[in-house]
Copies of this chain bind each other. A is one copy, B any other.
Amino acid sequence: MAQTQTARPMDGTALARRIIETSAATAAELRLRTGKAPCLATVLVGDDPASVTYVRMKRRRCESAGIVSRHVALPATSTTQDVVDAVTALSNDPDVHGILLQHPVGPHIDERAAFEAIDPAKDVDGVTMHSFAAMSFGLPGFVSCTPGGIMRLLDEYEVDLAGKHAVVVGRSAILGKPAGMLLLGRDATVTYCHSRTADLPSIVQQADVLLAAVGKPRFIAGADIKPGAVVLDAGYNDGNVGDVDFEAAAERARLITPVPGGVGPMTIAVLLEQTVAAATLQLGAAA
CB distance from A117 to the nearest CB of B (A): 15
Give per-residue flags for A108-125: 1 if the beta carbon is below 8 A from chain B beta carbons, else 0.
000010000000000000
Whether A136 pairs with B177 at a CB distance below 8 angstroms is yes
Verify B132–A136 contact, CB threshold 8 A. Answer: yes
Q: Within the assembled complex, what's the spacing in Å between the Cα atoms of A171 and B192?
A: 14
Give A112's nearest chain B residue, CB to CB: B139
Q: How far is the CA of A197 from the CA of B93 in the complex (A)?
A: 46
From B112, B134, B191, contact of A190 by CB (8 A): B191
Closest B residue to A191 by CB, please name it: B191
Let me know if B129 and A162 touch, CB within 8 A: no
Q: Nearest-CB distance from A202 to chain B (Å)? A: 9
* Central interface residue in A181, A189, A194, A198, by most chain B CB within 10 Å: A189
Q: Is the CB of B198 within 8 A of A187?
A: no
The 8 A CB mask of A131-142 against B (1 = contact, 0 = none) is: 011101101000
Chain B positions within 8 Å of A203 at CB level: 165, 189
A25 at the interface (CB under 8 A from B): no
Query: How many copies of the chain does the oligomer comprise?
Result: 2
Check: A164 CB closer than 8 A to any chain B CB: yes
A205 → chain B closest CB, angstroms: 12
User: A196 contacts which of B129, B163, B173, B181 (Cβ < 8 Å)?
Assistant: B163
Q: Are B194 and A187 in contact (CB under 8 A)?
A: yes
**How many angstroms between the C-alpha atoms of A182 and B229 in the bound complex?**
29
Residues of B within 8 A of A180 (CB): 192
Q: Tell whether A191 pairs with B194 under 8 Å between CB atoms, given A129-B129, A130-B129.
A: no
A181 to B150, CA, bound (A): 21
> Which residues does chain B contribute within 8 Å of A278, judged by CB atoms?
none
Min CB distance A121 to B, Å, is: 14
Q: Name the distance in Å between A198's Cβ and chain B's nearest Cβ.
A: 4
Q: Known contacts A132-B136, A133-B130, A184-B171: does B191 contact A198 (CB below 8 Å)?
A: no
> Chain A interface (Cβ within 8 Å of chain B)?
112, 129-130, 132-134, 136-137, 139, 162-165, 171, 173, 177, 180-181, 184, 187, 189-194, 196-198, 203
Q: List 7 A-B contacts (CB under 8 A).
A: A132-B133, A136-B136, A136-B173, A162-B196, A171-B184, A177-B181, A189-B203
